[in-house]
Amino acid sequence: MRDKVLVVGMDGLRFDRLVAIRPPVLSALMSTGAYGTSTLPYGEPEAPRTESPGQIVPEEAIGSPAPTHAAPAPEDARANNDDRPTDAPRSTDDTEATDAPRSTDDVGATDAPRSTDDVGATDDPRATGEEEESVRVIRARTDSGPGWASIATGVWPDKHGVVDNGFAAPQFTKYPDFLTRAQEARPDLVTSAFFSWAALAEHGAFGPAIGTRFVLDGYALTWSVADRQVADAARDHLANAGPDLSFVYLGDTDEVAHALGPLCPEYTDALLLQDAYLGGLLDTIRARPSFGHERWTVLVTTDHGHVDAGGHGGVSGEERTVFVIGARLGEDLGGVRLQDPRPVDVAPTALDRLGIAVDPAWDLDGAPLAF
């Protein structure tokens, strides 16, 4: 059996709204897989802001409030702004994808999975000495930049350096994304990433070593259009390239929440549409001629939540609560509840499922989830 992993990110998705709306595909993954929530160990103690996107935060402002990843114009939350680029979508395929088989003898030793008895996200590492004990403090906004960088790298913002959406001082050379680590550890693997938020590729959160990167600008295209094109491209790639490890980012839920809040009917519609895109990805995987000889792990997660009025960056439970859903296609795990699965656990879990041992020298904050 060849192990393969699909990671899907849905921006700004509040877990309580997911439970209330009951999108069919996500609900099915929860009932047959494993899931849980945790609390982000960071946030700025001021009211969430929803300024226009695209502002670059100067380097000296690191740690101070920064623009959020969302900025609809007041008259039309998801319409293009006149000053945004309108060039055609671009795809940056870095390598020709091939699906070279690998022997199960190649699978390396794995780190011990993180059990459900492990501490949650708010129990941060401590350095102790005879005279004093210092507590690790992580200062960052509950924004998309820090959230997706943590998911990509498996470390918190004080290590990867992204504390807001400015990406002013990232440390992605020291802490690369999990697809890059997989590609470096196993050059035979086929890796791919698909984004409707171009900043994730442009600032290196998901690096150029990834085999295929498909990058669109949701601000220029509108997010609903960009998400649809991302989902279509990912389906085609899953069907024809046979990737071993893929990441798919969808952003419209966050944009709608910024404009109208996460309690509105439009947010429900955006979530149901993203759920349908996820269903299309899974249907494509199941239709692969080689599916019977593949063992697929699917992970779904988010970067932050939203206050009821829309917006994030602060320290409220609505903003800091995040989730991870994990499933093995073709297996029924019975809806196992994971205890405090953290965004930083996604990267080591994906690597673990591919038989790539986490090197202690990587200094990851996350650990593989057991399900």
Bridge-based pairing state of the strands 336-337 and 34-39: parallel
> What does the pLDDT read at residue 59?
31
Which of 81-95, 154-168, 328-342 has the lowest average pLDDT?
81-95
The values of phi and psi at residue 327, to 5°, are -150, 155
Q: Quick check: is 367 in a domain?
A: no
pLDDT at residue 55, rounded to an integer: 30
Q: Tell me the pairing of strands 321-328 and 34-39.
A: antiparallel
CATH of the domain at 213: 3.40.720.10
pLDDT grade for 134, boundaries at 50, 70 and 90: low
Q: Are 184 and 227 in contact (CB under 8 A)?
A: no
How far does the chain reach from its first CA to its final CA, in angstroms? 18
Query: Are 249 and 200 a contacting pair, CB within 8 Å?
Result: yes
Q: pTM here?
A: 0.79
Write down the pLDDT at residue 69.
43
> How far is Cα 337 from Cα 219, in angstroms, rounded to an integer?
36
The whole-chain average pLDDT of the chain stands at 83
Number of separate domains in the chain = 1
In a domain, 139, yes or no: yes
pLDDT, tens only, 33-82? 999 999 999 999 864 555 433 332 333 332 333 334 443 333 333 333 33
What separation in angstroms does the CA of 71 have from each of 50, 117, 236? Answer: 6, 40, 30
* Structural domain contains residue 276: yes
Tell me if 148 sits within 8 A of 249, measured CB to CB. yes
> Region 132-158: what's the mean pLDDT?
91
pLDDT for 48 equals 59
Which has the higher per-residue pLDDT, 163 or 79? 163
pLDDT above 60 (res 349): yes
Length of the chain: 371
Instruction: Classify residue 74: in a domain, yes or no.
Output: no
Determine, yes or no, domain membership for 75.
no
344-361 b/e (C-beta count within 10 Å ≥ 16 → b): bbbbbbbbbbbbbebeee
In this structure, the number of other CB atoms found within 10 A of the CB of residue 278 comes to: 23
What pLDDT, in 10s, does the model give residues 238-275? 999 999 999 999 999 999 999 999 999 999 999 999 99
Query: 70 in a domain, yes or no?
Result: no
**Mean pLDDT across 19-40:** 98
Say if 134 falls within a structural domain.
yes
Under DSSP, the state recorded for 118 is S
Position 102 in a domain: no
- The CA–CA distances, whole Å, from 152 to 149, 198, 313 equal 5, 15, 19
Range of the domain at 132: 2-51+88-93+108-362
Q: Please, where are the H alpha helices in 3-129?
A: 15-21, 24-32
As a whole-number percent, the residues of the chain with pLDDT over 70 amount to: 76
Region of poorest pLDDT, from 33-37, 43-47, 182-186, 306-310: 43-47
Higher pLDDT, 131 or 242: 242
